[in-house]
Amino acid sequence: MIGNERHSLPGVIGGDLLRHAKIPLLLLVAVLISAVLVVTTAHKTRLLTAQREQLVLERDALDIEWRNLILEENALGDHSRVERTATEKLQMQHVDPAQENIVVQQ
């Protein structure tokens, strides 16, 4: 009656693998796990690289803005420019400190 037994093919293959091919089966599982980890790591690396590039572009834009602000500050803080603006637009005159005392005392 042993010859009339019916076995399923997946069951026979699984049984043979567990009995005779434990090391190759473990190696297959290890290869599959490492392949998934490599793909995951590559994906995360690409995301981080894209994020880094975006941050570098943002830093460059902020650096340009900072330089422009420094130039603007220097231009606005220039004493000769302020003095010229005061005399031309506001018709102000330079006051001598010695003459100022005379005016205040009167």
- Whether 103 maps to a domain, the answer reads no
- Whether 4 maps to a domain, the answer reads no
Q: Is the predicted pLDDT of residue 5 greater than 80, yes or no?
A: no
- Whether 1 maps to a domain, the answer reads no
- Whether 5 maps to a domain, the answer reads no
Global model pTM greater than 0.85: no
* Average pLDDT of the chain, as a whole number: 85
Q: DSSP for 1-30?
A: -GGG----HHHHHHHHHHHH-HHHHHHHHH
Number of domains in the chain: 1
- Whether 7 maps to a domain, the answer reads no
- Whether 74 maps to a domain, the answer reads yes
Structural domain range at position 31: 15-92
Q: Give the tokens for residue 76.
A: 């606005």
Confidence at residue 29, expressed as pLDDT on a 0 to 100 scale: 93
- Whether 20 maps to a domain, the answer reads yes
- Whether 43 maps to a domain, the answer reads yes
What burial class does residue 49 get, using C-beta atoms within 10 Å of its C-beta: 0-12 exposed, 13-18 middle, 19+ buried? exposed
Q: Is the predicted pLDDT of residue 37 greater than 80, yes or no?
A: yes
According to DSSP H, which parts of the chain are helical? 9-20, 22-76, 79-88, 97-105
Q: Is the model more confident about 63 or about 99?
A: 63
